[in-house]
A and B are shown apart, each in its own frame.
Chain A
Amino acid sequence: MDYQYIGKDIPVNDSRAKACGQLLYAADLHLSGMLYMKLFLSPVAHGIVRSLDVSKALALPGVVTVLSYENTPDVTYNRGRVRATEEAPDQETLFSRHVRFVGDRIAAVVAETPELAQKAVSLIQADIQPLLPLLTPDQALAQDARSIHEKDGVVRLPQIGYGDYASAQGEEFSHHTSSQRVSHIAMEPHCTVADYKPASDRMTVWTATQSVFGARSAIASILGMPMSHIRVIKTPMGGSFGCKQEMVLEPLAACAAKMTGRPVMLRFSRSEVMLCTMLKHPLDSHIKVKFSPQRTITGLQLSCRLDAGAYQTVSPDYADAISKKLSWVYNIPNVEYHAVSVCTNTPVSGSYRGWGGPECALIMENMMNAAARRFVMDPIELRLRNILPPYATSRINNFSLGNLPLEDALLLGRDRFGWEARKERLARQDRSGRYLRGIGMALATHTSGYFPRRGDWGTVVVKMEEDGSVHVNCNVHDHGCGEVIVFRSIVAEVLSISPDLVDLPEGDTAYNALDNGCYTSRSIYVLGRAILDASNLLLEQLKRNGSQLLGCRPEDLSHRDGALFVTKQPQRRCTYSQIAYYVADKGTEALFVSHTHVPISNPGPAAAHFAEVEVDTYTGLCRLVDYLAVHDVGKALNPALCRGQVGSALQQGLGLVFCEELKLDPKTGRAMNADMQHYHVARACDFSKIDTLFIEKPDEEGPFGAKSVGEACYVPVAPALIAAVNNALELELSDLPLDPPRILAALARKEREKEAVTP
């Protein structure tokens, strides 16, 4: 099928403004009379504030007010809750006397300038009675984390699964995987501007959130305001990767605006982002898998422990999500899943790109690669014996995974990467040298929406203006990866007009219908389909009116480049603009379509990643040599942006595996590297060529056949890289990160073991 705009590398809609520095992010906004807010954070991991002295701060000229647990609403909430009816533990307040981690909020200053606010914060004095900090899940579990929270300090999920693991036959294989605290490092630090007008009791909030309605719901419930008095507008987002999903800054800035009656900006520094928003969960997992003599899986038992940090927020749901993703790749007749989410006196864990999918893949794929080594089998072969066929049903939550071309992904990848040739070349490498190379791979799927979970709808209004240009109203939250241009391209394709003529502003509670926001990689599959259907409805309306204008039947008409024409007599034509004026003059209807799409499917995009890595055995440093990502995307609506997603997934995966970790002092719980000087991410010089291959077997329901890609591409990265390192070193490492100290220690251990057997 030849498309005009779909499948083309179209730059993101606002890239010219971005290239000129003209696009305004939240931190670039300036409202007259705007004040600046700075937080006063707990210096201890656990304690009770005995007394708080803010008098010196208040006395500083230019300081307008100080907020603390003494003068702000004592409403407990869950920062991850999008709708008030969602069940989730309420443990957090705007400010707290009981401080639960280094970085917990005690108070905040609002002042005329950011510098003054910062200075005033340093004048606040808190007398804190220290409590014993529980810094690890082990410490917390020993007392059910009761000193941290009276309730829900530890959440144990009921057993999840099907079949009966105990009675499954076969050789049992156990494996262990753990991973560390990681920060999202979206380049834009969090920022919210809130403006409150006391006379009319109206609040407007500008914020780079993934859910304007979630932010509104949190503000309404904490400040006790009618939702109709609150307007939340999404600002351009400088990346999220999950870090702008939970409601952290919005209620704080709104509260300060309400107290002062003036606009307030709350902008986090990089350290505050790392400490006071969310991190990727530290994970500990033990898996047992039984294999038949043919090396097919007969059963799986997994237990996971997530360190939720000081507040549960979304962690129980996260633990649950790992289980859902267990039966999406391999055919596993018996599954038993246990999970516990434990609060500790550490920074809060929360959503991170993939919502449990990367954790699930890390555990499963590490296990599969280790099993392949144990069985002396090729890891691709082991997978081929176990993968689900197309249109398999997820046995854990009972829905079709769609055309799921796992086998294609494996075979195409094996070929394209030259897997066998590389294997042979590496088998001949000189193992006594300083540098050792290895290859590894991993397989994964992900979601394209929430389905079969409820709450996954998309409502769209599409209207045509008198000049034939189009305005779309939909609750879109572009994270910066280009959804808006893809949506505009969808409208443009249906109507055959330039994407430039389509306006599609982002989330705004004043205009959009209720929507949960952009999570779970749902935007393209759910909102994209809603936009596609609505555009088709508008086209029908155009044809109905165009047929009146041209004196023919609607079905006689075709459309191209902003005009309708009689298919058999192309000279009989009228432009969309002429139709728009015709409709306006008629005065009986508007070129306006409102449509709600409720998905009935949720295909898993298949992904196979392949890596070659070189390890410097002297320094323990690893270097990426080659990388191939094979992705079933249904249809690459904008291949350049899909490749961008894969590149960013690799950038983050390299960090997760080799260098990123927010380290806490084991005694005090204080972060030791909460800044970019000490927290390292992959840079341009750390990359080599990334090869991306798309499989485009259209999904039946997705717009133009598309499935998700944004999170799916992050899911298999880490296990593929780990496998390559293990292949290079002939080791079984599965505790992240594989940073130089860990690699050198493993090599030294191996050396000692070798010496022990060969005296």
Chain B
Amino acid sequence: MIINFVLNGRPVSRDLLPQRRLIDVLREDFCLTGAKESCGEGECGACTVLLDGRAVHSCLVLAGQLEGHAVTTIEGMAENGELDVIQNAFVEHVAIQCGFCTPGMIMSAKGLLLQNPDPSEEEIRIALSGNICRCSGYAQIVAAVQDAAKRLREVGKA
């Protein structure tokens, strides 16, 4: 069935089986391999993308649900090769180690900051609780999100 949706800001129209998982559609049909599969059941957050600005697990979203909606993946964050504020904050705070959780973490952080530009540390920790990181103990990640939120507030856009 032909499904029309917006992917990283561009309208797309594709013939997709509606029961296919969004993560597979992204990785296989669009070569967007930034979203990672780690648990396949909505528990780890490695596959997180934005659906209409809200963080969702792409392993739990089906192609049939996309009609008329907008999907943003990690590949859609950088503009003209310039990292976005959150991506930069993750790099600078050494919040990235093996990096397998990173795309999902950044998308969850983006989803949070779109809803809540000034989150407390606790709100950040709760928002990121759907994303598992096995490498860092989360401290640097939380610091990166706090810093990104501050920088975004300064420039007046979340």
Contacts and interface: CB of A to CB of B under 8 A. Distances in A.
A676 B87 contact: no
A683 interface: yes
Interface string A499-512: 00000000000000
B111 interface: no
B102 A18 contact: yes
Given A11-B91, A640-B140, A676-B41, A18 B132 contact: no
Contact of A648 (B33, B36, B137): B137
A28 B41 contact: no
Contacts of A236: 98-99
A14 B41 CA distance: 28
A714 B100 CA distance: 21
Contacts of A25: 36, 100
Contact of A21 (B73, B88, B93, B132): B73
The main secondary structure of chain A at its interface with chain B is loop
A687 B126 CA distance: 11
A9 B106 contact: no
Main secondary structure of the interface of B (DSSP, over half): loop
Interface string A309-335: 000000000000000000000000000
Given A20-B83, A648-B134, A684-B142, A237 B98 contact: yes
A690 interface: yes
Given A15-B90, A15-B96, A25-B36, A185 B134 contact: yes
A186 interface: yes
Nearest to B43: A676
B103 A644 contact: no
Given A236-B99, A479-B98, A684-B141, A187 B134 contact: yes
A687 B137 contact: yes
A651 B137 contact: yes
Interface in A434-455: none
A362 to B, nearest CB: 20
B92 A11 contact: yes
Interface residues of B, number: 57
B125 to A, nearest CB: 4
Contacts, number: 188
Nearest to A478: B98
Given A25-B36, A28-B33, A185 B91 contact: no
Given A187-B98, A676-B39, A644 B138 contact: no
B131 interface: yes
A16 to B, nearest CB: 6
Given A676-B39, A689-B139, 18 more contacts: A9-B94, A19-B88, A19-B90, A20-B34, A27-B36, A187-B36, A236-B98, A239-B98, A241-B134, A480-B98, A641-B97, A647-B140, A648-B135, A648-B137, A683-B132, A684-B131, A685-B122, A687-B137
Interface of A: 9-12, 14-25, 27-28, 30, 184-189, 236-239, 241, 269-270, 479-482, 640-641, 643-644, 646-652, 675-677, 681, 683-685, 687, 689-690
